[in-house]
Amino acid sequence: MQEILEIPAAEFHQTARKLKEEKGMDFLRSLTGMDWGEEGMGAVYHLESTSTGATMTLRVRTADRLQPELPSVSDIWKGAALNEREAYDYFGILFIGNPDMRRLYLREDWQGHPLRKDYDASDLTNPLRMTNEEAVDTTETLELNPDGTLKVQENILFDDKEYVINIGPQHPATHGVLRFRVSLEGETIKKIDVHCGYIHRGIEKMCESLTYPQTLALTDRLDYLGAMQNRHALCMCIENALGIEVSPRVQYIRTIMDELQRIDSHLLFFSCLCMDMGALTAFFYGFRDREKVLDIFEQTCGGRLILNYNIIGGVQADIHPDFVKRVKDFIAYLRPTLREYHDVFTGNIIAQQRLKGVGVLSREDAISFGATGGTGRASGWACDVRKRHPYAVYDRVDFKEIVYPQGDCFARYMVRMDEIEQSLHIIEQLIDDIPDGPYYEKTKPLIKLPEGTYYAAVEGSRGEFGAFIESRGDKYPYRMKFRSTGLPLVSAIDTIARGAKIADLIAIGGTLDYVVPDIDR
Amino acid sequence: MFDFSIVTGWIHNLLTSFLPYGLAVFVECVAIGIGIMIAYALIAIIMIFMERKVCAAFQCRLGPMRVGPQGTVQIFCDVIKMLTKEIVKIREADKFLYNLAPYVVIAASVLAFSCLPVNKGMEVLDFNVGVFFLLAASSIGVVGILLAGWSSNNKYSLIGAMRSGAQMVSYELSTGLSILTIVVLTDTMQLSEIVARQADGWFIFKGHVSAVIAFIIYLIAGNAEVNRGPFDLPEAESELTAGYHTEYSGMHFGLFYVAEFVNLFIISGVATTIFLGGWMPLHIPGWEGFNAVMDFIPGFVWFFGKAFFVVWLLMWIKWTFPRLRIDQILTLEWKYLIPLGLVNLLLMVIIVVFKLHF
């Protein structure tokens, strides 16, 4: 549990700028909207310096519950823009200076802000609406007049003469129900407006009325290609809070499972990218081999996609007796197959032309947006949580953090392809000497977390996945927030894809490798 | 080599023996029309089945297996399904053009299809400017695609149609140039005559390097013109859902689908006719015995064999390569293929003038 700095709202913007410029706190890990009841509303900011590695947690609050206002930091950390919209959506906190103060997930005509503790969740406030949500072409920026009143400034997103095309919510290349409104000039993209929330399930709200073991069930349903890692993060966060030390056996199993999951995810990434680019044969190759990982999972966990494997204090079941042998067989099989992938796709002249130099994300932007994972590493930012804040047994294994400096689609692609090999290498080091021991620690039937705030992060398949818990000592979390790995990626897409072609947008979306349920939560 | 004109001549004589001449010709025209339509449908079915099986083989799958032995009846079932499906009416669409578009595409395809000389004496449309006619007929198709995209009242369709227009019009030049290269070599534009000139060796062998280059350019450009393979951006499903035929359903979609496959066959058929000797058997000068054996294989077997080999080549490319981007497609055409085609044409002229060919 880290010291939380309380900063008055009036000074916050200045302080944030100073922190970024003087202390190098250039990475906004997580922005969590909060409702502290009597004490007012506000937000918690997790910061990290990419140069020194120092971390910091800030808390800003405002006592006004009717019209809570906070200064926006979207001009300091670009990634804050969408996160602030999320906080506005959930808590009704107005961020002064954010260029776009629309709701992020819920409909514009939604009544109330669901994560506020005084929210009325009855069907009468928000009945099932039978009309479509109108697409709006304008948005609002809030600014403060010198006398403290609000000045609403209207921003035009798309004017009448623009050729605006919807990519999504139902579209083969958005990998789920994500919607881009794209303004085109011929085939060239002028602007992208991201609409999220088509598969928003209110998981964070649901968690507030579930006991801790129950909340675990929802993490698998966030980023379904990082089910193991997501649940690992939440279990780790709760275990840290409770002070449970899991056995080395569990640490080994969790690490191996995380890496298998990463391979699974990256294989799917390869397949889907190939399919998006029109190379259907390579798509089948990837899926064929992903099945083998899923078979291994199925044998041990019983599930293939929703795995439900980690529990507080350990894992659900011991590994299957065949597990070690099958994993070894798989490693031996995948190495030569990866070369085949490179033959059929990576080396292809068309693939190279489609990916190289397309959709460049600079290192500064990657950090500013908080685009972690393969995307950040392809922009030259060594952002691997496994190296930054080692957990499980990652400090004991030898592996290389793949970093490419180019920041284009090809770099993002190569990072993930090379990471598969690194994952194989990690598993190889661990698989032969999984220590004996209990596969779970006995916990109390009723788990209550001591009062406080907790944050734990793991390297998910596509970036830093964090679980933030604020506990008031109950058996339910007071506030539970998941740092989405996909939201920063999606928030960066307008910057990346501007000036590119439609076909490039597909390649960019494919290489960013977002998973929509993880964005929408 | 069996001359099919014996059969047609016999039928003609039979009909004129008991019918007035004009009526006899009319009956023949109707019969040939029906014959072409049936052949067209059969080719489409074979092509679709082949596509599914070939792509399955490339993708470590089996393809259709359940209906009939090895899934052979699958495509017939698909046709029946397609015929019985409702043709959905689109609100705000330009009804007349929307309904007309698939027929324009299919008409262009059938016209081009009838130009192919399948066997000796088995040509339907064969006259002294055959090549010219073939190019003209096949380029009507782009009009249908543009109409389809424009009249659907769908932004995806419109983008697909625009891409298609840009692409097909551009690549027509390259196909034209590469065919012209061979026309220079043969000094005839009659397709049956072009085949006849290849009796002593296919043009791809006779025409030196120039013919080989023309053949490769033709394959690339032809592939682009039928919107397939790495050039399938007009219907790039991961970008534009289905491009210009997004809004079409039932048999109207079926017509686009069928036309696409038969166009692929036509491209291969033309490649066969012009570069690979059409229905001419493989003759190697000096190997009399071998040549005599080859002559026993009927011409249409040669023709279909070669055409399907080219089809297979194009499918191989399609199922291996990723898709190009629109600017890359146009760059490839205007900056590389057309200059190369022109230089190649000049080279062929030099070869012909100095009689350097075999």
Grouped pLDDT means (10 residues each) for chain B, 358 residues: 75 82 84 88 88 88 85 86 84 84 89 84 78 86 87 85 86 88 84 80 77 89 84 74 81 86 89 84 76 78 88 88 86 90 89 78
Which amino acid makes up residue B250?
G
Asked if B61's CB is within 8 angstroms of A284's CB, the reply is yes
* B155 and chain A in contact, CB less than 8 A: yes
Asked if B55's CB is within 8 angstroms of A172's CB, the reply is no
Candidate from A280, A345, A504 with C-beta closest to B325: A504
**Residue A428 pLDDT more than 70?**
yes
Full DSSP string of B297-314:
S-HHHHHHHHHHHHHHHH
Secondary structure of residue A110 in the 3-state scheme: coil
- Closest residue, chain B, to A283 (C-alpha): B59
Q: What are the boundaries of each domain within chain B?
A: 88-353
- How far does the CA of residue B244 sit from the closest CA of chain A (Å)? 15
Strand segments (E) across A432-509: 452-460, 463-471, 479-483
* B156 and chain A in contact, CB less than 8 A: yes
- Closest residue, chain A, to B230 (C-alpha): A278
Asked if B230's CB is within 8 angstroms of A350's CB, the reply is yes
The DSSP bridge partners found for residue A247 are none
Asked if A350's CB is within 8 angstroms of B322's CB, the reply is yes
pLDDT of residue B339: 92
What letters, b where the CB count within 10 A reaches 16 and e where it falls short, cover B92-103?
ebeeebbbbbbe
**Residue A347 pLDDT more than 80?**
yes
* B58 and chain A in contact, CB less than 8 A: yes
Query: Which chain A residues are within 8 Å of B239, Cβ to Cβ?
Result: 173, 502-503, 506
* B165 and chain A in contact, CB less than 8 A: no
Asked if A506's CB is within 8 angstroms of B319's CB, the reply is no
Asked if B159's CB is within 8 angstroms of A278's CB, the reply is no
- How far does the CA of residue A275 sit from the closest CA of chain B (Å)? 8
Mutate to test the interface with B, among A164, A337, A502 (most CBs of B within 10 A): A502
Mutate to test the interface with B, among A162, A163, A164, A165 (most CBs of B within 10 A): A165
Domain count, chain A: 2
What letters, b where the CB count within 10 A reaches 16 and e where it falls short, cover A99-122?
ebbbbbbbeeebeebbbbeebeee
Asked if A165's CB is within 8 angstroms of B156's CB, the reply is yes
Asked if B61's CB is within 8 angstroms of A354's CB, the reply is no
* B324 and chain A in contact, CB less than 8 A: yes
By DSSP bridging, strand A69-71 and strand A94-96 are parallel
Q: Which tokens hold the place of B84?
A: 């019985």
* Helix or strand holding residue A33 (H, E): strand A27-35
* Helix or strand holding residue A48 (H, E): strand A41-48
Asked if B155's CB is within 8 angstroms of A350's CB, the reply is no
Candidate from A163, A280, A506 with C-beta closest to B59: A280
Mutate to test the interface with B, among A170, A179, A284, A290 (most CBs of B within 10 A): A284
Q: Is residue A336 part of a domain?
A: yes
Please say whether the beta carbons of B341 and B174 come within 8 A. yes
- Dump pLDDT digits (tens) for A210-263: 888 888 888 888 888 888 888 888 888 888 888 888 888 888 888 998 899 999
Nearest Cα to B53, choosing from B72, B77, B78? B72
Give the CATH number, domain containing residue A257: 1.10.645.10
Secondary structure of residue B122 in the 3-state scheme: strand
Q: Is residue A195 part of a domain?
A: no
- How far does the CA of residue B152 sit from the closest CA of chain A (Å)? 15
Asked if A280's CB is within 8 angstroms of B238's CB, the reply is no
Nearest Cα to A510, choosing from A294, A354, A404, A380? A354
Q: Which tokens hold the place of B94?
A: 């330009």
Name the interface residues of A facing B (CB cutoff 8 Å): 163, 165-166, 171-173, 184, 187, 274-285, 288, 344-345, 348, 350-351, 353-354, 501-504, 506
What would you measure as the largest C-alpha separation in chain A, in angstroms? 71
* B21 and chain A in contact, CB less than 8 A: no
**Residue A68 pLDDT more than 80?**
yes
- How far does the CA of residue B86 sit from the closest CA of chain A (Å)? 23
Q: How confident is the model at residue A2 (pLDDT cuts 50, 70, 90)?
A: low
Which amino acid makes up residue A521?
R
Q: Which tokens hold the place of A320?
A: 């299957």
Residue A385 CA to residue A363 CA, distance in Å, equals 17
pLDDT of residue B150: 86
Q: Is residue A475 part of a domain?
A: yes
Considering the domain architecture, whether residues A90 and A230 belong to the same structural domain is answered as no
* B316 and chain A in contact, CB less than 8 A: no
What would you measure as the largest C-alpha separation in chain B, in angstroms? 68
Asked if B327's CB is within 8 angstroms of A501's CB, the reply is yes
- How far does the CA of residue B200 sit from the closest CA of chain A (Å)? 38
Asked if B326's CB is within 8 angstroms of A281's CB, the reply is no
- Dump pLDDT digits (tens) for A15-37: 888 888 888 888 888 888 888 87
Mutate to test the interface with A, among B51, B228, B323 (most CBs of A within 10 A): B323
- How far does the CA of residue A249 sit from the closest CA of chain B (Å)? 38
Q: Domain of A375?
A: 203-311+321-435+449-514
* B328 and chain A in contact, CB less than 8 A: yes
* B331 and chain A in contact, CB less than 8 A: no
Sheet holding A463-471, edge to edge: A452-460, A463-471, A479-483
**Residue A295 pLDDT more than 60?**
yes
- How far does the CA of residue A283 sit from the closest CA of chain B (Å)? 9
**189-208 in chain B: CB under 8 A from chain A:** none
Nearest Cα to B156, choosing from B242, B226, B255, B47? B242
- R_g over Cα of chain B: 21
Query: Which chain B residues are within 8 Å of A173, Cβ to Cβ?
Result: 238-239
- How far does the CA of residue A350 sit from the closest CA of chain B (Å)? 6
Residue A416 CA to residue A136 CA, distance in Å, equals 37
Give the CATH number, domain containing residue A78: 3.30.460.80
Query: Which chain B residues are within 8 Å of A278, Cβ to Cβ?
Result: 230, 232, 236, 238, 321-323
pLDDT of residue B343: 92
pLDDT of residue B1: 64
Considering the domain architecture, whether residues A281 and A371 belong to the same structural domain is answered as yes
Considering the domain architecture, whether residues A115 and A227 belong to the same structural domain is answered as no
Q: Between A and B, how many residue pairs show a Cβ–Cβ distance under 8 A?
A: 83
Candidate from A172, A348, A503 with C-beta closest to B326: A503
- How far does the CA of residue A202 sit from the closest CA of chain B (Å)? 29
Global confidence as pTM: 0.86
- How far does the CA of residue A281 sit from the closest CA of chain B (Å)? 5
Q: Is residue A458 part of a domain?
A: yes
